[in-house]
Amino acid sequence: MKDEAIYRRLFRTALLIRLVEERIIELYPSDKIQSPVHLSIGQEAVAVGVCDGLKPDDLVFATYRSHGFYIAKGGSLDAMFAELYGRKGGVSGGKAGSMHLAAPEVGLMGSSAVVASTIPHAVGAALSFKRRGLSQIAVAVFGDGATEEGVYHESLNFAALMKVPVLFLCEDNGLAVHSHRPVRQSYRLAEHAASFGIASRRLEEGWDMLAIRQATLEAAAKVRAGEPFVLEIVTSRYKEHVGVGEDFHFNYRTSDGVDAWKRRDPLIVDQKLVATLRPDIEREIEAAVAFAEASPAPGRDELLADVI
Amino acid sequence: MRKLDYAGAIREATTQEMERDSRVFVYGIGVPTWSSIFGTTKGIPEKFGKERCFDTPISEDAMTGFGLGAAIRGLRPIHVHIRVDFMILATNQLINMVSNYTYSTGGKLKVPLVVRAVIGRGWGQGAQHSKALFSNFTHIPGLKVIAPTTPSDMKGMMIAAIRDDNPVICFEHRWLYWAEEDVPEEPYEIPLGVGRILRPGKDVTVVGLSWMNVEARLAADILAKRGVSVEIVDPRTLAPLDENLIVESVKRTGRCIIADCDWVDSGFSAELSARINEKCFGKLKAPVKRIGFAQTPAPTVRELENEFYPNAKTIVHAVEDMLGLEAANLDGEDFFSHERRFRGPF
Candidates A104, A112, A95; CA nearest to A305 is A95
So where are chain A's domains?
3-174+182-239+252-296
Strands B53-54 and A59-61: unpaired
Which pLDDT tens digit goes with each residue over B69-112?
999 999 999 999 999 999 999 999 999 999 999 999 999 999 99
Band (pLDDT 50/70/90 cuts) for residue B343 is confident
B133: left (phi over 0), alpha (psi -120 to 50) or beta: left
Cβ(A125)–Cβ(A137) below 8 Å: no
Per CATH, the architecture of A3-174+182-239+252-296 is what? 3-Layer(aba) Sandwich (3.40)
Residue A133's Cβ-count burial label (10 Å; 0-12, 13-18, 19+) is exposed
A306·B73 Cβ contact <8 A: no
Residue type, B200: P
Backbone phi, psi, residue B336, to 5°:
-75, 150
Cβ(A80)–Cβ(A291) below 8 Å: no
| Bridge partners (DSSP) listed for residue B81 | B117
Report all structural domains of chain B as residue ranges with CATH numbers, in order of start.
2-183 (3.40.50.970), 196-323 (3.40.50.920)
Task: Tell me the C-alpha distance between A275 and A289, whole Å.
Answer: 21
- Is B344's pLDDT higher than 80? no
Best B18, B56, B63, B66 residue to mutate vs chain A (most A CBs within 10 Å): B66
Strands B230-234 and B196-199: antiparallel
B104·A92 Cβ contact <8 A: yes
Which pLDDT tens digit goes with each residue over B122-165?
888 889 999 999 999 999 999 999 999 999 999 999 999 999 99
Catalytic residues of B: 60, 129
| B106: nearest CA partner in chain A | A92
The string of DSSP letters for B109-123 reads -----EEEEEES--S
| CA dihedral for B323, B327, B328, B331, sign (positive or negative) | positive
Q: Taking residues B152-181, what's their average pLDDT? A: 97
B62·A155 Cβ contact <8 A: yes
Three-state secondary-structure class, residue B241: coil
Best A101, A127, A141, A149 residue to mutate vs chain B (most B CBs within 10 Å): A127
Give residue B121's pLDDT. 87
Band (pLDDT 50/70/90 cuts) for residue B346 is low
Q: Taking residues B25-33, what's their average pLDDT? A: 96
Task: Tell me the C-alpha distance between A81 and A287, whole Å.
Answer: 10
